[in-house]
Structure 1
Amino acid sequence: MLGTVVTTSAALLAAPAAGLLGHRQVRRAALAKRLRVTAPHGIDESGFVRVGGIDQWISVRGDDRSNPVILEIHGGAGASNHVFLPRTRDWERHFTIVRWDMRGAGTTFAHGGPDGQGEFTLDRLERDAVEVTEHVRARLGVERVLLVANSFGTVLGLRLARRHPELYAAYVGTDQNIQAGGRERTAYDGLLSRLERAGKRKELATVLEMGADRTAWSAGRSAAFSKLALTTDPLSAETMKKVVMSSLWFSPLHDLRGLRDYGRAMTFSESLAPEAALVDEWAEGTAFRLPFFVFQGAADVLTPAAAAHRFFVDVTAPVKDFALIEDASHFAAFRRPERFLDLMLTRVRPVVAAG
């Protein structure tokens, strides 16, 4: 969904790169130092695991192996969460976090290239996720893991939570995506309003011609909509620059070739958008047999909180909770990592411990 935005912004960042490389190296070195796991009972492992017939990149990090285990399902599609490691380092003091670059994303994509990703469908990603979960359970010796999904990853995350509750201690969605089989139009109407207020007639005509039904959109149109939605909202545009692009540019895990591969992966993964648009969360089911949490950016214009809350209201679960993250649009957990961690510690962890 966001590949066009990231690729375009990366080009803008790279333009003055010659004068910034020295500063970039200093920052990357400082962030690499921050990422070191030195606790006596900590864990810091990464490498390829054979999943679904291809090599896929998985990292496991945390300061105490006895902490609850989180499996992150990243967004994008194709947007590895490894770039946000420095921003979420404090999470690893309370949780052991498994970050998986699914096929079409991050190091998995860079390793195999576009021709080495194999079958690329939501169903294949779901089966991959189950394999990854089983690998994590065996490797870390835990019965269940916390399932934490963001943005596009929440489409997959909801399916995992519904269909495999025995594997997961709870579901936590942020930037929770609600497709509703093409009926959900909160983000679309919000973009129309912003374009009208700004007097952007050309863009307004384009969006009106697209129509609100995402099931009729091509992958290119989905990408164009995401770009417009995020760049026409001041808070979202600031977040893209200061959180997303800054994390990419200064990532200690990504050299310049890695930045290029990151953008290529997101562009490659945009092909999933038309399939994802067909998902109807209500038709697939609102009954969950595990604790269910949604922590949403209060000002999210791409996956609006109002849409996520409508679905949340209809959910039945042993425990459920919904919270807004203030001063946050999309990428709420990465813009306000301290607030997200507080919600995980005060609302999620006690429920998991009691279960």
Structure 2
Amino acid sequence: MTSAAALAAPVAGALGHRRLQQARNARLMRIDTPNGIDEQGFVRIGGIDQWISIRGESLDNPVILEIHGGPGSSNSAYGPRTRSWEKHFTIVRWDMRGTGKTLGRTGADGQGGMSFARLYEDALEVTRHVHARLGVDRVVLVANSFGSVFGLHLARRHPELYSAYVGTDQNIHDAGRDDSARRALLARLRAAGKRKEASIVEEMGPDKRAWTAGQYAAYAKITVTTDALTFATMKSVVMKSLWFSPLHSLRELGDLAKGMSFSERILPETATFDDWADGTRFDLPFFVFQGDQDVLTPPERAQRFFDDVQAPVKDFALIDDAAHFASFRHPERFLDLMLTKVRPVVTGRRQAVVAR
């Protein structure tokens, strides 16, 4: 066997396995209920075509609008993992400007302005599009990771659009006052003898307001790859979901990777955000479901903010054995929280609990 043939054999095997698993996932994703919906396509949002998926087994169910993280980290590949959610909710997934299929549609030059304000306005427009398309007055806003930065702003300013706010991998900004996560990372790196990584983090300094977009990305990469549970989740949940996604070609997987690099430019402008100063009153039910071992968005900070929140109903829960990507690592546990805590409130089938 030639060296080229020897190299080609495992590649062909991997691609063959990928096609088989994609086919299985495509069968799993089929929706054939009489009142179900399965739509994917491009909608004109903010002057460009943006990809939106709407899926669920019954249009009578509450509607969830997800705001994905990153920035630039699409949730579109997690459909097979979260298939059970669609029995109880209609799930709307959106590839933001600069992300995934939206990025792939017209390339980097066709994305228009990239800023937090621009993406925030896009999110409002997507919300109103979903209202009109599905004939609903409000949707449950579920925000993941960096998407929860948008989520808090949306929930504060527009409670009339959303029946509840649910943050997971909840990101809390305090204008740089709390450096505990960075100090914990440095301690972990030094204990593991990772001098190179520790040196990189030390050089960034404690004030995130002075970090560049590249430093934000480097910090996240070091945090993810040097924490055992987070790294295991990246491999077993994130990478597998991407590789076996029935919605994505190999070229589109490349677009997903490009989206992370392309979108990181908006990170520095959020460094001065202060969620406490912006306000802890929310005029809608407010929930946070956080991984108990999340080192990227630590649950302790999310809990402190939650404790100060004033809302008609509120609840906080930790998801055991979960780091970042908690809802996708344990989708059934997350669904149970949505069914027991959120769905009864938004459907009016449970007497409202007095906020703690």
Task: Give me the TM-score of the superposition, normalised by structure 2.
Answer: 0.94
SS of alignment partner, residue 166 of structure 2: strand
Which of 166, 175, 190 is 1:172 aligned to?
Answer: 166
For 1:136, the equivalent position in structure 2 comes to 130
For 1:233, the equivalent position in structure 2 comes to 227
Which of 178, 183, 198 is 2:177 aligned to?
Answer: 183
The question of whether the paired residues in 2 share the 8 Å contact of 1:186 and 1:307 is answered with no
Which structure is larger by alpha-carbon Rg, 1 or 2?
A: 2
Report 1 or 2 for greater relative contact order, CA contacts < 8 Å, sequence distance ≥ 6.
1
Q: Can you list the C-alpha shifts for 1:80-123, whole angstroms capped at 9, x where unaligned?
A: 10011110110010000111111011111100211111111111
Which of 142, 147, 155 is 1:148 aligned to?
Answer: 142
Take 1:154 and 1:187, find their aligned partners in 2: how far apart are those partners?
18
Superposition misfits of 4+ residues, deviation over 4 angstroms: none
What letter corresponds to residue 40 of structure 2 in structure 1?
S
SS of alignment partner, residue 172 of structure 1: strand
The question of whether the paired residues in 2 share the 8 Å contact of 1:178 and 1:184 is answered with no
Q: Please give the root-mean-square deviation of Cα atoms over the aligned residues, in Å.
A: 1.2
Identity of aligned residues (%): 65
Take 1:331 and 1:16, find their aligned partners in 2: how far apart are those partners?
30
For 2:295, the equivalent position in structure 1 comes to 301
The count of aligned residue pairs is: 341
For the pair 1:62 / 2:56, whether they are aligned, the reply is yes
Q: Can you list the C-alpha shifts for 1:157-198, whole angstroms capped at 9, x where unaligned?
A: 000000000000000000001121122323212211111110
For the pair 1:315 / 2:309, whether they are aligned, the reply is yes
Take 1:260 and 1:206, find their aligned partners in 2: how far apart are those partners?
27
SS of alignment partner, residue 175 of structure 2: helix
For 2:207, the equivalent position in structure 1 comes to 213
Take 1:202 and 1:62, find their aligned partners in 2: how far apart are those partners?
47
Which of 252, 255, 266 is 1:272 aligned to?
Answer: 266
Structure 1 residues 68, 188: CA separation in 2 closer, same or farther (over 3 Å shift)? same
Task: Give me the TM-score of the superposition, normalised by structure 1.
Answer: 0.94
Take 2:309 and 2:303, find their aligned partners in 1: how far apart are those partners?
10
Take 2:11 and 2:28, find their aligned partners in 1: how far apart are those partners?
24
Take 1:16 and 1:155, find their aligned partners in 2: how far apart are those partners?
42
Structure 1 residues 16, 204: CA separation in 2 closer, same or farther (over 3 Å shift)? farther
Moved more, 48-57 or 16-25: 16-25
Structure 1 residues 266, 347: CA separation in 2 closer, same or farther (over 3 Å shift)? same
SS of alignment partner, residue 323 of structure 2: coil
For 1:331, the equivalent position in structure 2 comes to 325
Structure 1 residues 17, 248: CA separation in 2 closer, same or farther (over 3 Å shift)? farther
SS of alignment partner, residue 39 of structure 1: coil
Q: 1:16 Cα shift?
A: 5.9
For the pair 1:92 / 2:97, whether they are aligned, the reply is no
For 2:67, the equivalent position in structure 1 comes to 73
For the pair 1:30 / 2:24, whether they are aligned, the reply is yes
For 1:39, the equivalent position in structure 2 comes to 33
SS of alignment partner, residue 267 of structure 2: helix
Could you tell me which runs of 5 or more consecutive residues in structure 2 were left unpaired when the two chains were aligned: 1-8
Take 1:142 and 1:190, find their aligned partners in 2: how far apart are those partners?
44
Structure with the largest fraction of helix = 1
For the pair 1:19 / 2:16, whether they are aligned, the reply is no
Q: Can you list the C-alpha shifts for 1:25-60, whole angstroms capped at 9, x where unaligned?
A: 000000011000011110001111111111111110
What letter corresponds to residue 142 of structure 1 in structure 2?
V
For 1:162, the equivalent position in structure 2 comes to 156
Take 2:111 and 2:75, find their aligned partners in 1: how far apart are those partners?
19
For 1:263, the equivalent position in structure 2 comes to 257
What letter corresponds to residue 27 of structure 1 in structure 2?
Q
The question of whether the paired residues in 2 share the 8 Å contact of 1:187 and 1:304 is answered with yes
Take 1:213 and 1:203, find their aligned partners in 2: how far apart are those partners?
18
Which of 326, 343, 351 is 2:337 aligned to?
Answer: 343
